Amino acid sequence: MSNGDMFQNNHDEIDFEFLGNIRGKDWRIQTNVYGNGSTSIGREERYGLWFDPAEDFHQYSILWTDSQIIFYVDNVPIREIKRTESMGGDFPSKPMTLYATIWDASDWATNGGKYRVNYKYAPYVAEFSDLVLHGCAVDPIEHEAKCDNAQTSKAVPTGVTPAQRIKMENFRKKHMTYSYCYDKVRYKVPPTECLINPQEAERLRKFDPVTFGGGRRRHGKRHYRSRGSQAEEAAAF
């Protein structure tokens, strides 16, 4: 979701980004959040998927309210972001539209360009099914909101249930490979909205002791570059 067409200098964005796969390894998916043009602060998390998203349809959902953002895969919550006062405008708050693209596999998503797209397999196709939207439609001219109060809206979740939280914690323990909150190369001090989980920190540190342990990289520096709205998301539903 994005509003970069209307707010070019201070856009909001909430993403599912499919990063493809490396032969013999799990498919990877990334979630990210920008608010008020805060592209200099990447709030990315990455995970492995327990299935091949190109073989069959799966359900990818985003719950976005004025106080929280929850990402779901097949109705399992995989990430929860609660709005804090310290986030300020970094929490997405302006009307957005939903869109999907197949993007150019930039260096940041391909291990520094190590795993390039093989265009001999083109054309690439993204297929979508059973799209469901609930919420408030905003008139782009009048800026008035008309909210969906249909009976089906009652099925929209209001948060993570205790049973779902167990599933989310299990998913993150097993599949999460990166979280900006623990990246000591990028952030000497975690962004203020981060809630540090010692067990999560230790698991990621063992996975990548340089990124999550703050140690020195022997073979040159690691460079990061936040992605702006022009580098669009890969979609492989």
Tell me how far CA of residue 194 lies from CA of 29, 43, 216, in angstroms: 20, 10, 23
Which residue is catalytic, options 13, 200, 232, 233?
13
In single-letter form, the type of residue at position 86 comes to S
Q: Quick check: 80 and 168 in contact, CB under 8 A? A: yes
C-alpha separations of 25 from 17, 171, 183, 210, 212 in Å: 17, 17, 23, 21, 21
- DSSP, collapsed to helix, strand or coil, labels residue 207 as helix
Place of tokens 């067409």: 5
Is 17 one of the catalytic residues?
A: yes
Cis peptide before 123 (omega within 30 of 0): yes
Q: Closest Cα partner for 231 from 103, 97, 114?
A: 103
- DSSP of 151-192, one letter per residue? GGGGGS--S--HHHHHHHHHHHHHHEEEEGGG-TTT-SS--T
Active-site annotation holds for 45: no
The catalytic residue positions are 13, 17
